[in-house]
Structure 1
Amino acid sequence: MTDRWVAVLSGGLSHERDVSLRSGRRLSAALRSAGLTVTEQDADHDLLHRLRNERPDAVLVALHGGEGENGAVQSILELLDIPYVGTDPRACRRAWDKPTAKAELARAGLNTPEWTVLPQSTFRELGAQPVLDALVDKMGLPLMLKPVQGGSALGARVVRDRAELPSAMMGTFAYGDTVLAEKLIEGTEIAIGVVEESDGPHALPPVRIEPTNGIFDYTARYTAGLTSYQAPAELSAAATAEASELAVSAHRLLGLRDVSRTDAIVDAAGRVHFLEVNVSPGLTETSLLPMAIEAAGRSVGEVFSKLVEHTVGS
């Protein structure tokens, strides 16, 4: 491979800064092992000046949350005419907003749990208790609450008892002013990475997720030993095929590019339900995409160096 000089963007100011820095360090090491020259760049107020003057061959965005996933940084890279690996700004925004992504897939006939969206202003204007009563009467329990935007399960809450709902809602509002309330599907949680090859997007082997406390929250995701993983996941052939098809369909329907990760759940009947999609999957030592890449017999350095070559050559 021709030697390339790339910049890996990580850090930033979102709630996920620490995870992003860990992803950036690991990705940088993997790219160096594949023969690329790498500089690590924090997404701070000097970033545009550095990129404008240094102009790397390509940029890889290892930012999680906020500007790294909502298309803001990608828009800046396009203004600077610097090639980058990953999804373009418009598709980033579609994927970043969970209700938008769910609605797009539901229109295409794909399974996703029933949901509703509740802005904080609704509670102020109509009264919290009537709104919560209407929510439970319509959707029942248990429910999953999560911010409509954001990653790493920050602000996510499982509610099984009606009395827990007010405090859970307030906890989720701490991470955003609008909550996605979703029927909780009990089953096996999985993640399916998608990587684009010369002939289009391909699903990696699904990874099974088993948190010790039953909830794959922020702590369970990034603390070694709190979650067990199985890669590839032991699923039926039918469920594996459906999960792979779901992830590739999400990637295509939302207009994603290069790499993505779809989170899903397999219910007791073996049906696969879309939960959300991530355009900048984590690459830490406990992240799911590297596990899937390794389960496919590949390395992170190989996969991302090929994406760099495709980006620079296209």
Structure 2
Amino acid sequence: MTGLPKLHVAVLMGGWANEREVSLTSGKGVADALESRGHRVTRIDMDRQVAARLAAAAPDVVFNALHGVPGEDGSVQGMLDLMGIPYTHSGLATSVIAIDKQLTKLVLQPHGVPFPGGRIVKSAEIFERDPLPRPYVLKPVNEGSSVGVAIVTDDSNYGNPIARNAIGPWQDFVELLAEPFIKGRELTAGVLDTAEGALALGVTELVIESGFYDYEHKYTDGRTVHVCPAQIPPQIAALCEHYALTAHRVLGCRGVSRTDFRWDDELGEDGLFVLETNTQPGMTPLSLVPEQGRNAGMDYADVVEAIVADALRRYAPDKLAGGGDGHD
């Protein structure tokens, strides 16, 4: 429990990104949880007038429940910085870096965080030749929730080389990140900021019915089984938490983050690779961070209030001490 005073919280959700519907679900859950704890909540479905609507609301703090661009890439963070409104999750610089998968890799690799190899390719290049030996993965550089990810194998129906009319991310993005496909298991580890410091929430394994952990599997009930805590060797779980905490610290994440992994269990510790760090993990009923929070002894509202408390510690400690306007 955070012991928060009663606050006026604007929950920013929706927007126009590919992940709009997920954001609306996250935002509703967050708003309901805050109201259940006695906070005053203003729900804002983000549009082009968002700055004026926030100024009129004059909240103590904004809970940023947006996913994708422009809520997760530094744009909204910069606006809130200019407006002087405290907000949850990571700040501008961290958001700019973390939403870019290649830039994240360049920042974290010198700190011992293992990533698959790979490179940025022009989409037009892949119609001439494969950028890497098959199997490999093509993904947008700056989209979340596995939006636009394609796994290219010898027997995939994309063609060889990939046909220009094949359905895939190359039709929507000029550049893509090409990485070797890492066989094995999907793991993820959340990190939550508390008054005592960053807390690793544990490791979850994602067991899917077929394919990989894409957007549909993430947000369709019954498509993925969450094993929490993951049934993996203790040293692998410890490594996942170590890399997640390192990513959180080095990138400068705040509030909460979640780092995703692929683990080739035939290779032991050498088979563990980071895929990305998400600075604004989902807060839907199927989301991973709330589930990991429960495993750590925190209910959904506890996690939400912990994220709000971190924002106030950072931007407005006087309000954390009881200066919020609550229901005034």
TM-score by length of structure 1 reads: 0.92
The offset of 1:311, in angstroms, is 2.4
The offset of 1:24, in angstroms, is 0.6
CA deviations on 1:57-97 (whole Å, 9 max, x unpaired) are 00011111101110100110111100001111111010000
1:158 and 2:151 aligned: yes
What's the secondary structure of 2:311's corresponding residue? helix
Question: Which aligned pairs between 1:57-206 and structure 2 lie closer than 5 A?
Answer: 57-120=60-123, 123=125, 128-129=127-128, 132-133=129-130, 135-136=131-132, 140-161=133-154, 163=159, 166-167=162-163, 171-206=168-203
1:49 and 2:52 aligned: yes
The offset of 1:3, in angstroms, is 0.5
The offset of 1:164, in angstroms, is 5.3
Equivalent residues of 2:107, 2:251 under 8 A apart: yes
The offset of 1:165, in angstroms, is 5.4
The offset of 1:170, in angstroms, is 5.9
Which residue in 1 is equivalent to 2:211?
214
Runs of 4+ in structure 1 off by over 6 angstroms are none
Identical positions, percent:
35
CA deviations on 1:250-299 (whole Å, 9 max, x unpaired) are 11111111111111122222322110011111111111111111111112
The verdict on how the C-alpha distance between 1:13 and 1:164 changes in structure 2, with shifts beyond 3 A counting, is farther
Indicate the structure whose relative CO is greater, using CA pairs within 8 Å and at least 6 residues apart.
2
Equivalent residues of 1:68, 1:280 under 8 A apart: no
- Give ranges in structure 1 of 5+ residues lacking alignment: none
- Which one has a larger percent helix, Structure 1 or Structure 2? 1
Q: Which AA in structure 1 matches 2:152?
A: V
- Give ranges in structure 2 of 5+ residues lacking alignment: 318-328
The offset of 1:47, in angstroms, is 1.4
Which residue in 1 is equivalent to 2:285?
285
Question: Which aligned pairs between 1:257-276 and structure 2 lie closer than 5 A?
Answer: 257-268=254-265, 269-271=267-269, 272-276=272-276
What's the secondary structure of 1:305's corresponding residue? helix
1:242 and 2:235 aligned: no
1:256 and 2:249 aligned: no
| Aligned equivalents of 2:217, 2:57: Cα separation in 1 | 38
